[in-house]
Chains A and B, each alone.
Chain A
Amino acid sequence: MAVLTIFFATDIHGSETCFRKFLNAGKVYHADVLIMGGDITGKMIIPIVELSGGTYTYQWLGSPYNIGRDDLSSHMKEIRLAGCYPYITNQEEMQHLEEQPQVIRQIFRQVLRTSVRDWLALAAERLDGTGIECYITPGNDDDLSIDETFLGQNVVINPEKKVVALRGEIEMISSGYSNHTPWNSPREMDEDQLWEVIQELAGQLSNPGKAIFNFHCPPYNSGLDTAARLDKTLKPITGIGGVQMGPVGSTAVLKAIKIYRPMLGLHGHVHESRGAIQIGQTLCVNPGSEYSEGILRGCLLMIEKGKIRNYLLTSG
């Protein structure tokens, strides 16, 4: 069995810069398999308001912009590259949107689907014929409506709730769901439910000890899940010398790793908790995320004879 090189990245939250880097990572890092661990869609729509006379106005990163029609596409590209969604509207609709949050939700679904569809097309264009396998799992922040965009895709596979075999050799199970968060994101469940999902998937593995558990949420209190503690208003709690941090990972994922002892755990979810740790015989990795700066954090993993031969956290 030859060495299998996997590149894993996660939590790019709509950053087109990071997604393009992800697609190029196979070639640069000589990876056989690319895995994106979830939270692929952005969180923010930037309304660009059309004014009379072919001009547009919007605010971006704290600065106001007034632009002409000729500059519109370049400005929209900048916004997309950073992980936000430009949305062209007018003053009348803006007023309507302020009063109709359900309409905003619909617009979100529409832009998310369009964006994922565009990305999948780009992935197909870049990876088809290269021999590089590509798996993209939605994460807890990704709206359920994006799942349909993966249907019928040949180059990119959504491995959610499936057993897939990387290069036909190494089994991987995946779940983008997380335990509950203060934000009530689209893919959250109770720990008991999450445990049931994992159990069902792990039950389909031929050899869990040689498998990869691609679970968006990191194991509880593992050092890969340390995030800022928040008060009721979602404001970080500060103490002497800094922000108070605490574990936010999943007890179900921790239990799964301890019971099934897989070869590898691929995780994300907590951007600031980058690291690689050993839980029993399992190497668990969270490459973290710096998507807002356009930096793709990831992890290169070399697997040989059912064992992790080496790994490297990357920052590309």
Chain B
Amino acid sequence: MEAVKPTKVSRAFFVRDATGLVRELSWFDTFLCGFGILNVALGLVQAFAYAPFVFPGSNIALAFIIALPGAFFIGLLNALFTAAMPRSGGDYVWVSRTMHPAVGFAVNFFATFGVVAAAAVNIWFMAQNFLVPALYVFGLKGASAWAAKPESAFILGAVAVIILVVIFSLGLNVVRRVMLGLFIITGIGTLLWLLTMLVGNNASFVARFNTAMGAGAYQKIIQTAQEAGRTVNPATAGRNSFYALIYAFQMYGGFQMIGYFSGEIKRVSRSAIQAIMVALGVGALFFIIGAQIIVRYFGYDFISSVAYLANTAPDKLDLPLGYYLSSFIIYMTSNPLLKMIVSLGFLATIVWILLPQMLIITRNMFAWSFDRLIPSWIAEVNEKTHSPINATIISGILIYIMLLVTLLTAFWSYLVNLAGVGAAVGSLVAISAIIFPYRRKDIFEKAPSIVKKLVFNVPILTWAGIFTLITQLVTAFVAFTTPSIGGAVSMVSLLSSLAVFVLAFPIYLIPFMVNKRQGLDTSLAYKELPPE
């Protein structure tokens, strides 16, 4: 149907008393949800822990700016796809419906593997980089020293996984309350951390650092890094700032998830898309300004030297509480209360991120179980607690196994460029968006008008897919051509990364064949029914 200039109708519709006719969320409500997902504090410390080392001379604030258009299109793609299929449940179904269920599963399986691996690494980081300084500023120096030992990560990781499983076993309401509490602590800690830097300057930091670590300690770190091989070539600084966008993308990740829950509401409208863009814009502002504040306060050479030594010669970096900027609060102020609040804020921020990660893993397991790809008992809900206890326990075990693999093996050097393969896999979602308006005209035609908007006679969803594809390909290029992200790219390492994606196909096909032998054709799950 084609819209034309109308004569005004006094009422567009009449509704009767029926369930589900809820008021739409305002864009501001939706924005707040999305902004909550963006983890500014964690993003900043992680970006500065690696980007200045991997990409010497890179301007992190500039990287956040360069990454902004790509993040915009990723957000737009998610918002439009969700608007077209609001209750479908994300990329698994988008790709399944547009391409093939096996491809949809493979994309989702890879993404889930990535989330399990990320959760394991976050637990490791939590123990090493966030718990150690927190225990220290709370006066528990013995416990802090113990936690700093590499072997303590096995016990701390197990404790963290058990706590996660217990929280999830108590039900989603408890999870939400814990998230809210952690978010408040994180927010206060982050603001105070940024304010402390804002009211101070580099000279005050140098003085405090030297008082704590010995005269000339600040310069010594820069000098040691230079002696260890750190160089900055001004000619490559610009290119490196561009390449550092790979970290900026990682830090921006999450804001687009607004799309998932706006689908819970009656109809995704312009407000959801507006909220995604504003959340991204405000998040970017915090990242860009935050990055500038950090560089101004600590000094770029110093931060880069710390990152360089931490990643190449940690034995030469004599920092008792680790190399993450979060632990530097002990040098930034003499106020014990401020130290406690900021340290606690950072500890809360890394724990907070684990909760949505666990949610994603269990939610995906549910979807696979419903599609008969994994046993149905995995999705069983406990009769007493009404929580998905089996999926929760399995998620915890998988995270812990991945933590052990991370701690005990050279796994990460084999799985080099997981980010690169991830971007390549993400390209499939982008391709789905490009072809969706043409391949699934039946769903597309029923989508809200904003999804069907044409730009140069091409649907806006297709444009979002094209630019997301370009973004993913650039990310993959940077990942594959930057050995320091995960080691040299070799046939073995590339195949190791691809194996995770490829493994999904037998996982899809074996239950398919078993079910078929039992008389159930699981390919019917997404088979289009004729509407005539």
Q: Does A21 contact B (CB under 8 A)?
A: yes
Q: Do A184 and B179 have beta carbons less than 8 Å apart?
A: no
Q: Does A253 contact B (CB under 8 A)?
A: no
Interface size for B (C-beta < 8 A) is 83
Q: Does A149 contact B (CB under 8 A)?
A: no
Q: In the assembly, what is the distance between CA of A140 and CA of B172, in Å? A: 27
Q: In the assembly, what is the distance between CA of A240 and CA of B182, in Å? A: 10
Which residue in B5, B356, B371, B381 is a CB contact (below 8 Å) of A222? B381
Which of A130-138, A154-162, A203-211, A305-313 is the contact stretch?
A305-313
Q: Mark A275-316, 1 if CB is under 8 A from B, else 0.
A: 111111000000011101111100010100000011111111
Q: Does A148 contact B (CB under 8 A)?
A: no
Within 8 A of B (CB), among A43-97: 43-47, 49, 51, 55, 57-67, 74-75, 78, 81-82, 84, 87, 94-95, 97
Q: Does B78 contact A (CB under 8 A)?
A: no
Q: Mark B17-30, 1 if CB is under 8 A from A, else 0.
A: 11111110100011
Q: Do A279 and B383 have beta carbons less than 8 Å apart?
A: yes
Q: Do B16 and A108 have beta carbons less than 8 Å apart?
A: yes
Q: In the assembly, what is the distance between CA of A13 and CA of B448, in Å? A: 18
Q: In the assembly, what is the distance between CA of A232 and CA of B377, in Å? A: 38
Q: In the assembly, what is the distance between CA of A166 and CA of B333, in Å? A: 75
Q: Do B1 and A222 have beta carbons less than 8 Å apart?
A: no
Q: Does A181 contact B (CB under 8 A)?
A: yes
- Measured CB to CB, the closest approach of chain B to A165, in angstroms, equals 23
Q: Do B22 and A236 have beta carbons less than 8 Å apart?
A: yes
Q: Mark A236-268, 1 if CB is under 8 A from B, else 0.
A: 101111111111000000000000000000000
Q: Does B525 contact A (CB under 8 A)?
A: yes
Which residue in A46, A47, A98, A289 is a CB contact (below 8 Å) of B87? A289
Q: Mark A12-28, 1 if CB is under 8 A from B, else 0.
A: 01000100110011001
Say yes or no: A243-B13 contact (C-beta < 8 A), given A29-B524, A141-B18, A278-B376. no
Q: Does B370 contact A (CB under 8 A)?
A: yes
Which of B314-322, B468-476, B512-520 is the contact stretch?
B512-520
Specify which chain A residues have a CB less than 8 angstroms from the CB of B85 in the assembled complex. Answer: 290, 293, 295
Q: In the assembly, what is the distance between CA of A22 and CA of B30, in Å? A: 35
- Measured CB to CB, the closest approach of chain A to B151, in angstroms, equals 34
Which single residue of chain A is at the shortest CB-CB distance from B176?
A239
Specify which chain B residues have a CB less than 8 angstroms from the CB of A21 in the assembled complex. Answer: 529-531
Q: Mark B191-219, 1 if CB is under 8 A from A, else 0.
A: 00000000000000000000000000000
Say yes or no: A62-B22 contact (C-beta < 8 A), given A49-B9, A315-B526. no
Q: Mark B352-381, 1 if CB is under 8 A from A, else 0.
A: 000010000000001001111000110111
Q: In the assembly, what is the distance between CA of A184 and CA of B18, in Å? A: 7
Q: Do B14 and A47 have beta carbons less than 8 Å apart?
A: yes
Which residue in B12, B16, B183, B527 is a CB contact (below 8 Å) of A59? B12
Q: Do B15 and A315 have beta carbons less than 8 Å apart?
A: no
Specify which chain A residues have a CB less than 8 angstroms from the CB of B183 in the assembled complex. Answer: 240
Which residue in A24, A244, A247 is a CB contact (below 8 Å) of B176? A244
Which single residue of chain B is at the shortest CB-CB distance from A244?
B176
Say yes or no: A66-B179 contact (C-beta < 8 A), given A223-B388, A241-B356. no
Which residue in B22, B88, B376 is a CB contact (below 8 Å) of A230? B22
Q: Does A221 contact B (CB under 8 A)?
A: yes
Q: Do B17 and A184 have beta carbons less than 8 Å apart?
A: yes
Q: In the assembly, what is the distance between CA of A184 and CA of B16, in Å? A: 10
- Measured CB to CB, the closest approach of chain B to A228, in angstroms, equals 5
Which residue in B15, B264, B381 is a CB contact (below 8 Å) of A236? B264
Q: In the assembly, what is the distance between CA of A63 and CA of B381, in Å? A: 43
Q: Does A3 contact B (CB under 8 A)?
A: yes
Which single residue of chain A is at the shortest CB-CB distance from B2?
A65
Q: Does A113 contact B (CB under 8 A)?
A: no
Q: Does B420 contact A (CB under 8 A)?
A: no
Q: Do A20 and B532 have beta carbons less than 8 Å apart?
A: yes
Q: In the assembly, what is the distance between CA of A36 and CA of B388, in Å? A: 28
Q: Does A234 contact B (CB under 8 A)?
A: yes
Q: Do B17 and A186 have beta carbons less than 8 Å apart?
A: yes
- Measured CB to CB, the closest approach of chain B to A141, in angstroms, equals 4
Which residue in B10, B269, B529 is a CB contact (below 8 Å) of A94? B10
Which single residue of chain A is at the shortest CB-CB distance from B20?
A271
Specify which chain B residues have a CB less than 8 angstroms from the CB of A294 in the assembled complex. Answer: 442-443, 446, 531
Which single residue of chain B is at the shortest CB-CB distance from A49?
B9
Q: Does A104 contact B (CB under 8 A)?
A: yes
Q: Quick one: which of A13, A234, A290 has the most chain B CB within 10 A? A: A290
Q: In the assembly, what is the distance between CA of A3 and CA of B264, in Å? A: 37
Say yes or no: A63-B449 contact (C-beta < 8 A), given A47-B14, A313-B525. yes
Q: Do B23 and A310 have beta carbons less than 8 Å apart?
A: no
Q: In the assembly, what is the distance between CA of A24 and CA of B21, in Å? A: 29
Q: In the assembly, what is the distance between CA of A236 and CA of B1, in Å? A: 32
Which residue in A64, A95, A105 is a CB contact (below 8 Å) of B3? A64
Q: Mark B475-487, 1 if CB is under 8 A from A, else 0.
A: 0000000000000
Q: Do B14 and A269 have beta carbons less than 8 Å apart?
A: no
Which residue in B265, B381, B519 is a CB contact (below 8 Å) of A302? B519
Q: Quick one: which of B12, B16, B383, B518 has the most chain A CB within 10 A? A: B16
Q: Does B386 contact A (CB under 8 A)?
A: yes
Q: Do A141 and B19 have beta carbons less than 8 Å apart?
A: yes
Which single residue of chain B is at the shortest CB-CB distance from A248?
B19
Q: Do A59 and B531 have beta carbons less than 8 Å apart?
A: no
Specify which chain A residues have a CB less than 8 angstroms from the CB of B84 in the assembled complex. Answer: 293
> Can you list the 8 inter-chain pairs with the closest CB atoms, starting with the nearest?
A64-B6, A316-B529, A59-B12, A21-B529, A63-B3, A242-B261, A240-B36, A235-B23
Query: Could you jot down 27 A-B contacts, CB within 8 Å?
Result: A20-B531, A21-B529, A24-B532, A44-B14, A45-B14, A49-B7, A58-B12, A59-B6, A59-B13, A65-B1, A78-B1, A107-B14, A221-B386, A236-B29, A242-B257, A274-B87, A275-B370, A275-B379, A277-B381, A290-B85, A293-B84, A293-B446, A293-B447, A310-B515, A310-B519, A310-B520, A312-B515
- 7 more contacts with CB within 8 A, not counting A66-B6, A243-B265, A294-B446, are A17-B531, A21-B531, A43-B20, A43-B21, A186-B17, A243-B264, A313-B525
Residues of A within 8 A of B (CB): 3, 13, 17, 20-21, 24-25, 28-29, 39, 43-47, 49, 51, 55, 57-67, 74-75, 78, 81-82, 84, 87, 94-95, 97-98, 104-105, 107-108, 140-141, 143, 181, 183-186, 221-223, 226, 228, 230, 233-236, 238-247, 269, 271-272, 274-280, 288-290, 292-296, 300, 302, 309-316
